[in-house]
Amino acid sequence: MIASAAAAPAPALPAPAAPTAEMPAAETPAARERVNTLETVVVSGIRPGPALWKVTSGERTLWILGTVSPVPEKMEWYSPQSEAVLRNTTEIIWPPQAGMQVGFGSAFKAALAVPTILRARKNADGKLLKDVLPPDLYARWAQLKLQYIGKDKSIEEWRPIFAAGKLYSEALEKAGLTSGTGTGGRISEVAKELDIKRTSTSVNIAITDPKGMAKSFTKSNIDDVACFRSVLDRLELEVAHASLRANAWAVGNLPELTRLVNKDRMPTCLEAFAKVEAMKESGILDATEQSRAKWMKAVDVALATNPTSFATLPMIEIVTPDGLLSKLRAKGYQIVEPQGSVQ
């Protein structure tokens, strides 16, 4: 299902507070990064996020807010620049996103399908994690599970790839981070207040046979162990990078944000999912590209018809060479990047 950003109330306009992250020194660059990230304090309070990217076609303008996920749990996003643009915009273009929908809009059918789908995350033949993982890897898991998840025994029945995902999400929560971009609530609030046109670029794939998909997934030959090991190997560093990235976004530190967005992620698990026949057959892998194409088309229309438009886009689509911002530049649109690190 598609995740939606949590709503944030519109506070009175404050002066941006200084970041609270503390980053002690270390002897070498590698050690310095490790020490810095592991001891990061996630920022809180009202924060502006980064300044906006400006895309123009003649006299028509599209303003883009770059976003990241997760973001600091105790942060409220309030951007004076975004607020001013939103109050003078004709259209808001939501970011590209791909998701799955069980059935064709039937809540009852979806509810009945949930147990079937959840069974797909369990190991075959009633095996536990200790039965499918090498002893050394399971020992590491047991220690990290106690630290981040607690004594929940039910997760021991899960396939390693799902257990790894749960461990990562719990570690993010312990670090003071929350999923979502933290921006959707305020943007939607202004849009409803001023009756601004909102354009979705999401692509949802309907799963009409959840039972068959679950069976296919259960029988699939996923390299669970490689995914699991990659998560355990990089857990602390990845969570720390997420904390630093969230901090950099919150205070509008674009150089640091760009550096952290370009950091290597954990591709092993994504590659494992991409090889599952059930995922290929569902169309979800193609839906991502379809959604990106839908976003590009919406921008083309906006820049041909609206005096001013507003969009949000994941930072990865803004700073990488094959991202959507680069595609806009290649089409001949003029792009002005934000100057300075803070609004």
197-219 per-position pLDDT tens digit = 999 999 988 777 777 777 777 77
pLDDT value at residue 216: 73
Mean pLDDT confidence for 293-303: 99
For residues 163 and 224, give the distance between their C-alpha atoms in angstroms, rounded to a whole number. 10
pLDDT of residue 157: 95
Note whether 37 and 243 are within 8 A (CB): yes
Give percent of the chain above pLDDT 70. 80
Instruction: Please state, in angstroms and rounded to a whole number, the distance separating the CA atoms of residues 75 and 252.
Output: 13
Task: Identify the pLDDT of residue 204.
Answer: 86
Q: Tens of pLDDT along 223-277? A: 788 889 999 998 988 899 999 999 999 999 999 999 898 765 666 677 777 777 7
The number of folded domains in the chain is: 1
Residue bearing the bigger pLDDT, 156 or 25 = 156
Residue-level pLDDT at 323: 95
Strands 177-178 and 75-77: unpaired
- Tell me: the pLDDT tens digits for 172-193? 999 999 999 999 999 999 999 9
Residue 202: inside a domain: yes
Pairing of the two strands 53-57 and 334-336: antiparallel
| Domain extent for 209 | 46-286+298-307+319-336
Output the average pLDDT for the chain.
82
Question: Is residue 22 pLDDT above 50, yes or no?
Answer: no
Give the pair of three-digit tokens for residue 10.
């519109």
Q: Is residue 250 part of a domain?
A: yes
Question: What's phi and psi for 45, nearest 5 deg?
Answer: 85, -170
pLDDT value of position 98 = 86
Is 120 a member of any domain?
A: yes
Residue bearing the bigger pLDDT, 216 or 69: 69
Binned at pLDDT 50, 70 and 90, residue 282 comes out as confident
Q: Is residue 33, in this structure, part of any structural domain at all?
A: no
Distance, in Å, from the CA atom of 89 to the CA atom of 196, rounded to the nearest integer, reads: 7
Q: Is pLDDT at 59 greater than 50 in this prediction?
A: yes
Has residue 291 been placed in a domain? no
pLDDT at 251: 93
* Spatial CB neighbours of 259, under 8 Å, sequence gap ≥ 6: none
> Nearest-CA neighbor of 307 among 55, 59, 52?
59
Rounded mean pLDDT, 24-53: 62
How far apart (Å, rounded) are the C-alpha atoms in residues 66 and 52?
7
Say what the pTM is: 0.81
pLDDT at 23 over 70: no
The residue assigned the tokens 């003071």 is 176
In a domain, 117, yes or no: yes
Query: Is residue 102 assigned to a domain?
Result: yes
Q: For residue 39, tell me if it sits in a domain.
A: no
Using the Cα atoms of residue 247, residue 253, residue 258 and residue 259 in order, give the sign of their dihedral.
negative
Q: How confident is the model at residue 26 (pLDDT cuts 50, 70, 90)?
A: very low
Retrieve residue 134's tokens: 């090498």
Q: Which residue has the higher pLDDT, 83 or 2?
A: 83
Q: Is the pLDDT of residue 319 over 60?
A: yes
The confidence band for 32, taking pLDDT boundaries of 50, 70 and 90, is very low
